[in-house]
């Protein structure tokens, strides 16, 4: 039954999220922590951090890690399939529709309304992760330093992530 729950949960996340992996984070959080209690907030933050540090989309990596945590290898396969299948079908359908009707004003208007909502979803994910990750002055300073480096330089985000990990090792 847990495999079916994993598939259905991640299928819903994949089917009803718009805007990519970062926009899915609040939905994943609600399902994984609040609805199913598969992970704690701290564990979820670790999953998101690992998902960002490993190759591939955040949502797929998160599904894989959560599925593995809940039901082992088969759970990771089922959760990953759950999040991928609806997205693949939706993207194929939307690509066909967009290509066929891309010049219509209604299509342009729909997209202009969706974009700001995606930005808000990403901001809400950042607020949620910030509240649970920045727990003291040291973690706050690391977060502000990382933000400054990313905002004002061309340093690769992976290097900033590795730098944060190194700081964590040195300080902790």
> Six-digit token pair at 32?
């994984």
**Domain-wise residue ranges, the chain:** 2-108
Radius of gyration of the chain measured on its C-alpha atoms: 18
Residue 76's pLDDT band (boundaries 50, 70, 90)?
very high
Q: Mean pLDDT in the chain?
A: 89
Closest C-alpha among 52, 4, 13 to residue 32: 13
Residues 6+ apart with CB under 8 A from 139: 133
Q: Output the pTM of the full model.
A: 0.58
Asked whether the predicted pLDDT for residue 4 surpasses 90, the reply is yes
Asked whether the predicted pLDDT for residue 43 surpasses 80, the reply is yes
CA gap 13, 20 in Å, rounded = 11
Query: Hey, is 163 helix, strand or coil?
Result: helix
Asked whether the predicted pLDDT for residue 22 surpasses 80, the reply is no
- Residue 19 DSSP symbol: S
């Amino acid at each position: 039954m847990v495999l079916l729950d994993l598939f259905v949960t991640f299928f819903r996340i994949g089917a009803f999220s718009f805007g990519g992996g970062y926009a899915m984070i609040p939905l994943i959080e609600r399902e994984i922590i609040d609805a199913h209690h598969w992970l704690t907030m701290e564990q979820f933050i670790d999953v998101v951090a690992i998902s960002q540090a490993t190759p591939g989309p955040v949502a797929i990596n998160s599904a894989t890690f959560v599925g593995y945590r809940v039901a082992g290898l088969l759970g990771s396969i089922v959760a990953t399939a759950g999040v991928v299948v609806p997205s693949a079908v939706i993207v194929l359908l939307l690509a066909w529709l967009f290509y066929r009707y891309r010049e219509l004003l209604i299509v342009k208007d729909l997209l202009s309304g969706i974009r700001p909502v995606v930005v808000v979803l990403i901001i809400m994910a950042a607020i949620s992760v910030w509240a649970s990750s920045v727990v003291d002055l040291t973690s706050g300073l690391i977060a502000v330093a990382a933000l400054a480096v990313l905002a004002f330089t061309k340093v690769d985000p992976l290097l900033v992530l590795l730098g944060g990990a190194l700081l964590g090792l040195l300080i902790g």
